[in-house]
Amino acid sequence: MIPRSNIRNIGISAHIDSGKTTLSERILFYTGRIYKIEEVRGGGSGATMDFMELEGERGITITSAATTCTWNDTQINLIDTPGHVDFTIEVERSLRVLDGAIMVLCAVAGVQSQSLTVDRQMKRYRIPRIAFINKMDRLGANPFSVVQALRDKLNLNPLLLQYPIGSEQTFEGVIDLIEMTAHYFAGENGEQRLILPIPENLREQAQEAREKLLDLLSMFSDTIMEKLLDGEAVPQALMWETIRKATLSLQLTPVLMGSAFKNKGVQNLLDGIAHYLPSPNEREVVQAIDSQTQASVTVDCHPDNPLLALAFKITDEDTGQLTYTRLYSGTLRQGDTVKNSRTGKRVRIDWCGCTLTTDKR
């Protein structure tokens, strides 16, 4: 049983063609949900796929609403956020379900029109995000100008956590600026992550980039500031903790990079999801509408409080209707009778994938 503090309910947002489908597929591969990566698309063909298409093509059981995978001791629930602007209501409904998100950006095109639309929605729902600069292998890839665009166009405070090793066709991996190690990806699908010392020719740049990272972090932690002033080493755990808190309060956006298509950097992104994005426990209150008075109310996310849940997707299965539900407060068990606030009717929960409860804090 995975403790709730190790659950991440996340979505992936991206401008069309920046690699959301490829990245989703790689995440499922590295977490063992699918066993083979088939190259169905050549880089840059423009084809897109959502989870449903993936499901059809690969004959695997993932759904368009949500899919679960496990990375080390973290359970990642990947919730599909429709990216198309026409589906704004659907997008907004799924945003209410997320605790965090990955913003995929193309290393060449940077911040594009749909990134702007989704950014506004993400800010409105106060969703903490990690930026993933994808397509680092492409001609013209420039992660530093993407970081600048995050600052200029989206008004975010990006925190570059990696330095690239090689560029464009020679992109080999990344330097982790917290651990100060070089990460290379080997094996047919990059499944072996090799952690090695930083190559001699990049030491100076990596050191400079780390100093910038620490400078920015010192604005969020007095302890880091003191350690820097005293010339002491800053412990890794303190850096992780500071980044996590600043990400959750939307004051920083951690930036990672890689090439989903070339299988480089996805494992580091999975580590980043576990380190920097919140668990459902970190959501203390939620805003809801009282169905009787129509007044806006603030609900405490607690297992002993009345049930408050959002049905965010309904699918018809052979066995009956399946409702994907996000629980905010209370506990939901098989056999319970709950009130549908839209219809006012009471419904019995015939089957429940698991007993859902909000954690006691």
Q: Which residues are at the interface with ligand GDP (CB under 6 A)?
A: 14, 16-22, 41, 43-45, 47-49, 134-135, 137-138, 259-262
Q: What is the C-alpha to C-alpha distance for residues 6 and 76, in angstroms, rounded to an integer?
A: 8
Q: What is the C-alpha to C-alpha distance for residues 194 and 197, in angstroms, rounded to an integer?
A: 10
342, two tokens: 């839209």
Minimum distance of ligand GDP from residue 198's CB (angstroms):
23
Q: What is the C-alpha to C-alpha distance for residues 287 and 297, in angstroms, rounded to an integer?
A: 6
Residue nearer to ligand GDP on the CB measure, 135 or 326: 135
Q: Are 349 and 309 in contact (CB under 8 A)?
A: no
Q: DSSP letter for 200, please.
A: G
Residue nearer to ligand GDP on the CB measure, 33 or 138: 138
326, two tokens: 């996000």
Minimum distance of ligand GDP from residue 54's CB (angstroms):
10
275, two tokens: 């380190």
Minimum distance of ligand GDP from residue 234's CB (angstroms):
32
Minimum distance of ligand GDP from residue 58's CB (angstroms):
14
Minimum distance of ligand GDP from residue 9's CB (angstroms):
20
Residue nearer to ligand GDP on the CB measure, 14 or 213: 14
**Burial of residue 206 (number of CB atoms within 10 Å: 0-12, 13-18, 19+):** buried
Q: DSSP letter for 100, please.
A: E
